Amino acid sequence: MNFQQIFGNLPETEASAPGRVNLLGEHTDYNDGFVLPIAIPQKTTVQMGFSNDGQHHFYSQNLDQQVSILEINHTPLGFASYIFGCIQILKKEGYKIPSLNLYIKSSVPIGSGLSSSAALEVATLRAIRQLLNLSINDVEIAQFAQQAEINYAGVQCGIMDQMASSLADTEHILFLDTRTLSFCLLPFPSKAEIVVIDSGVPRRLASSGYNQRRTECEQAAQLLGVKALRDITRLEATEDLPEPLRRRARHVVTENNRVLEVLQILETRHVASVERFGKLMNASHASLRDDYEVSVPALDMLVEILQETPGVFGARLTGAGFGGACVALVAKGEGRAIATTVLEQYNYHSGYTGRVLVPTTGF
């Protein structure tokens, strides 16, 4: 069913936002650190119009589910919480938001670590900006989206996902300093492309160890006497922390250093950039597995198969972990063949049914 069939009229406006895959810089954003995401082809589209009955109405095409709420209602559950949160944040910022009809459709996989929630938030805020002609820039959209997810969906997320959905494209790597929000778009290595494979192991951030990891990092920073772990650059400083805080801090420090090394490589376009980038991705996965403990056996298996496949420079889990997807940097032009080979091996040995998300066609 389309917007007109659901709401009885045509939409007034439409806006989209992409999902993202994070190439390097995992669990560093809420530590005021550095990240390197890139947008993926999959996106979420929001069609929007005015509601005439004083209620908001949200319809998800993917779920075939409609939610209707009054302004005085408590935050709804599920997909509607992200939309309701965006509206409430705008109202707290002083914007007058009328009752709205929203129709949502998305090709961003849910539960794969590719920021389906951020894509929904950013697409919603973009549509409201267009509909009401609001003077909100793309960085503010990301900030409002993050506040919506924290305050209304209950996920203590950093700002990487929302900034990537709001600012990134599929041709460049976004370097973001999550403390200052300074950013730049860097050229993707000409010798490479990415492969993203969903492990088939779903994850739910709000019910996973994500919030626990954030608390552990805050505790480590407090013991070290700094605002955030971003302020620690030398591993020696973490050695006297109690476990597991020492390992959590060690991941954040080394991960930030890996991002900064890739930034330098990409800025100088060093000839060995792809090979070194790949090795740093491999090191990132090992750190996420051993120090941050957010991997699971299926993700480790998928990463290992990728890393052992000819033409793969490096691979790692992407997103918060606890399931979801893996990303690999592979030789240009070989992505489809590599993805086919790896998926066949993984599905056979893991007991899960994975799927290729990037490249997006032919599977």
The full length of the chain comes to 363
| Catalytically active residues, by annotation | 161
Q: Output the pLDDT for position 109.
A: 81
Residues 277 and 293 occupy one common structural domain: yes
pLDDT grade for 363, boundaries at 50, 70 and 90:
low
pTM of this prediction?
Answer: 0.91
Residues 243 and 126 occupy one common structural domain: no
Mean pLDDT value of segment 195-222: 86
Residue 83 CB-half CA count within 13 A: 31
Q: Output the pLDDT for position 204.
A: 63
Is the pLDDT at 101 greater than 90? The verdict is yes
pLDDT grade for 362, boundaries at 50, 70 and 90:
low
285 falls within a domain = yes
Residues 240 and 311 occupy one common structural domain: yes
Q: How far, in Å, are 112, 289, 298 from residue 304 at the CA level?
A: 18, 12, 10
Single residue among 185, 202, 219 that ends a domain in this structure: 185
pLDDT tens track for 48-61:
999 999 999 999 99
Is the pLDDT at 361 greater than 70? The verdict is no
Residues 225 and 348 occupy one common structural domain: yes
Residues 147 and 210 occupy one common structural domain: no
| pLDDT above 90: percentage of residues in the chain | 85
pLDDT tens track for 108-133:
988 777 889 999 999 999 999 999 99
E strand or H helix at 166? helix 160-167
Residues 62 and 181 occupy one common structural domain: yes
pLDDT grade for 230, boundaries at 50, 70 and 90:
very high
288 falls within a domain = yes
Cα 266 from chain centre = 21
Q: How far, in Å, are 130, 150, 306, 316, 359 from residue 301 at the CA level?
A: 44, 32, 9, 11, 20
Is the pLDDT at 206 greater than 50? The verdict is no
> What is the count of structural domains for the chain?
2
Quick one: 295 exposed, middle or buried, by C-beta within 10 A (0-12, 13-18, 19+)?
Answer: buried
Residues 338 and 352 occupy one common structural domain: yes
DSSP string, 74-98: PPPSTHHHHHHHHHHHHHHTT----
What mean pLDDT value characterizes the chain?
A: 93
Q: Output the pLDDT for position 360.
A: 82
Q: How far apart are CA 340 and CA 326, in angstroms?
A: 14
Residues 148 and 295 occupy one common structural domain: no
363 falls within a domain = no
124 falls within a domain = yes
Q: Output the pLDDT for position 77.
A: 87
Task: Say which CATH number the domain at 171 has.
Answer: 3.30.230.10
Least confident of 22-36, 152-166, 199-213, 248-262: 199-213
Residues ≥6 apart with Cβ < 8 Å to 244: 216, 293
Residues 74 and 105 occupy one common structural domain: yes
2 falls within a domain = no
Q: How far apart are CA 325 and CA 294, in angstroms?
A: 12
Residues 205 and 225 occupy one common structural domain: yes
Single residue among 138, 162, 185 that ends a domain in this structure: 185
pLDDT tens track for 282-331:
999 999 999 999 999 999 999 999 999 999 999 999 988 899 899 999 99
Q: Output the pLDDT for position 86.
A: 97
Q: How far, in Å, are 146, 214, 217, 234, 327 from residue 247 at the CA level?
A: 27, 13, 10, 14, 23
Residues 113 and 132 occupy one common structural domain: yes
**Locus of tokens 């190439």:** 23
| pLDDT above 70: percentage of residues in the chain | 96
Is the pLDDT at 227 greater than 50? The verdict is yes
Task: Say which CATH number the domain at 219 has.
Answer: 3.30.70.890
Closest to 255 in 3D by CA, of 195, 311, 321: 321
Q: How far, in Å, are 234, 296, 324, 344 from residue 214 at the CA level?
A: 20, 19, 19, 35
Single residue among 185, 206, 232 that ends a domain in this structure: 185
Structure tokens at 130: 């267009």
Is the pLDDT at 182 greater than 50? The verdict is yes
6 falls within a domain = no
Residues 93 and 208 occupy one common structural domain: no
Q: How far apart are CA 61 and CA 104, in angstroms?
A: 6
4 falls within a domain = no
Range of the domain at 246: 187-358
- CB-CB contact of 38 with 194 (8 Å): yes
pLDDT grade for 156, boundaries at 50, 70 and 90:
confident
Q: Output the pLDDT for position 319.
A: 87
pLDDT tens track for 69-96:
986 667 888 999 999 999 999 999 999 9
Least confident of 195-199, 202-206, 353-357, 359-363: 202-206
179 falls within a domain = yes
